Amino acid sequence: MVRIAVSGPPGSGKTTQARKIAEEYSLVYYSAGSIFREIAKRRGVSIEELSYIALKDPSIDIEIDKKTYHLSLEDNIVLDGHLTAWIASDLVDFRIYITAPLHVRVSRIAARDNKPYEEALRETIVRESIQKKRFFEFYGIDVTDLSIFDLVIDSSNLSVEETFLVIKSSIDKFLKTRKTRIQ
């Protein structure tokens, strides 16, 4: 049994890699970001607007983080989300942080969401600054402190496949060292 957390900022490639990890190791995949998007859709607001709302309404983060925490009790799971590694820190076996410079991440977000670069840039900057403030105020988590991670990888100069090979190599080494089989 294994529990893996994949965290990182928007557009870093964390969701793509978490899904690849789940597929490679036959793990269950869970995305905290999908819950945030579902809440935004349910309320009829954008991600950016929900970020502002969440700054004053901790119930949004609490809903997401409770679900993340409870899922981190499950065996053979990959948890994907900005705060996932911190929220489930004591329960997961391997923590991965994926990042890339802002301009690379914004380009990816603009392409993924089919929106102009400037709009994606503005939304990303607003979202990240609000998240950083919320995460520190609500949880005391400094998202710039990456000391809890077993692997930190910059995906900006690597293809999706190259990034995954680095991640897979690290997970394989961890599993071998731990002498754990995924069952």
Domain that holds residue 37: 3-178
Is 56 inside any structural domain?
yes
Is 113 inside any structural domain?
yes
Is 130 inside any structural domain?
yes
What is the mean pLDDT for each group of 10 consecutive residues in the chain (183 residues)? 93 96 95 85 88 84 83 89 86 95 96 95 89 85 93 96 97 84 52
Query: Is the pTM higher than 0.95?
Result: no
Q: What is the pLDDT of residues 70-82, one digit of tens each?
A: 888 888 999 998 8
- The CATH number given to whatever domain includes residue 133 is 3.40.50.300
Model pLDDT, residue 48: 77
Is the CB of residue 72 less than 8 Å from the CB of residue 152?
Answer: no
Is 183 inside any structural domain?
no
Is 115 inside any structural domain?
yes
Is 124 inside any structural domain?
yes
SS (H, E, C) the chain: CCEEEEECCCCCCHHHHHHHHHHHHCCEEEEHHHHHHHHHHHHCCCHHHHHHHHHHCCHHHHHHHHHHHHHCCCCCEEEECCCHHHHCCCCCCEEEEEECCHHHHHHHHHHHHCCCHHHHHHHHHHHHHHHHHHHHHHHCCCCCCCCCCCEEEECCCCCHHHHHHHHHHHHHHHHHHHCCCCC
Is 150 inside any structural domain?
yes
Model pLDDT, residue 77: 93
Model pLDDT, residue 68: 82
Model pLDDT, residue 182: 53
How many domains does the chain contain in total? Answer: 1
Is 46 inside any structural domain?
yes
